[in-house]
Amino acid sequence: MLEQFAVALRHTAGNPKSGDAAYTVLSEQDFSGACAEITAWEGYEGTPLVSLPGLAEKIGVGRIDYKHEGPRFGLGSFKALGGSYAAQRVLQRELSRRLGKDVSLEEIRKGAHKDACAGITLVSATDGNHGRSLAWGCLRFGAPCRIYIHAEVSEGRAVAMRELGAEVIRIAGDYDDSVLLAKKEAEENGWFVVSDTSWEGYTEPPRDVMAGYGVMAREVCEALEQAPTHVFLQGGVGGLAASVAAALRQIYAVQAPRVVIVEPELAACLFDSACNGKATNFAIQEETIMAGLSCGEPSEMAWEILAEEASDFLTIPDSIVAPAVRLLANAETGDPAVEAGESAVAGLAALIAACQSAGMKNTLGLDENARVLLIGSEGVTDPAIYAAIMAGRDNV
């Protein structure tokens, strides 16, 4: 029922600056190298781009395309593209250093150095999907894996990582606390952090993560006959949003779509960064239902891109997330049914809610000519939470 989405949204109009971060922070070579490797992985298939004409008609926009990442490598989310590729690149750099010769990604992919990989431990903090991707990559490449999760990460997501061979360490704090502990213990033990967020002096793995996500953007552009006018992108630390925004800029140049960033109001680090004109931490007081977006510290590298590419920043309440999940799953507008996770529908929920407000709809330029791209970043990554939502619970 679309009336469930008629809520007040916090909005800040960004001030995009002409610049070249979309080409320098993430180069065309970064994207092309990741695409060449990832599309060579066993089991690679492009994920569906689902058209939602029924919903588009009901909310008064020209077109809606939803990139459904649920089937990605059987891992349930777009993160499969980033964490695993970044792990492979970390192993490539370290093996080349240890062996005193260039080691190729193909050699690692084909298992030529599994014995050496067994002595290289990779670690990361996660809300679930990034850790699952890293664990999957480590399993394939033969490296030990340690994953740090915070108190609110569901046990179902922890089990999924353990089943891929990862050692999972749960802490009492939040996501940002788990990031700090992963960094600390890696430094103490000579392990290698594979994070999707960057900080001073740490840029290579986050760049590789974002380069991997570019595969998704390339698939979208190959499927579309015309550039979208808008793209609604989930926040989190900003890696997904920055990657897609940069890739679309490189592909479409001046015809690149208007970039709208969407975050939970409970974890709005990018919104606050836009308000302050610089990367700004957000003190999380309560966990959002959108577990994958519960991040208080933006990636500095991602922010560098978003500061130039994003036009608008929105925050949404948790109350509209479960209805968006049910709308897709139940095909309420006559469109194909899609099983999506809580973080996947952030852009969809924001789009519907914005179109319920004449003022917001006009501000964002969402009229009958708008062609909106949404990134459905995950499928059902926690069956228990999904079942509760489908049973009618809005707070899980």
What H or E segment, with its residue span, contains residue 37?
A: helix 28-38
Strand 230-234 versus strand 258-264 pairing type: parallel
Work out the widest C-alpha separation in the chain, in whole angstroms. 63
Distance CA 141, CA 88 (A): 7
Q: Which tokens go with 204? A: 């290579």
Which residues is 314 bridged to in the sheet?
11, 262
Q: Give catalytic status of residue 367 as yes or no.
A: no
- As to burial, measured by CB atoms within 10 angstroms (0-12 exposed, 13-18 middle, 19+ buried), residue 1 is exposed
The catalytically annotated residue of 30, 65, 127, 312 is 127
Pick the closest to residue 128 from 377, 297, 390, 370 (CA basis): 377
**Full strand arrangement of the beta sheet holding 310-316:** 10-13, 310-316, 258-264, 230-234, 371-376, 63-68, 49-51
Rounded Cα distance between 273 and 308, Å, is 12
386 secondary structure, DSSP code: H
Q: Are 70 and 380 in contact (CB under 8 A)?
A: yes
Name the active-site residue from 65, 67, 79, 382: 79
Q: Read off the amino acid at residue 153.
A: V
Residue with tokens 């001046």: 254
Determine the residue type at 263: E
**Catalytic annotation present for 318:** no
231's tokens:
């793209």
Q: Hey, which residues are catalytic here?
A: 79, 127
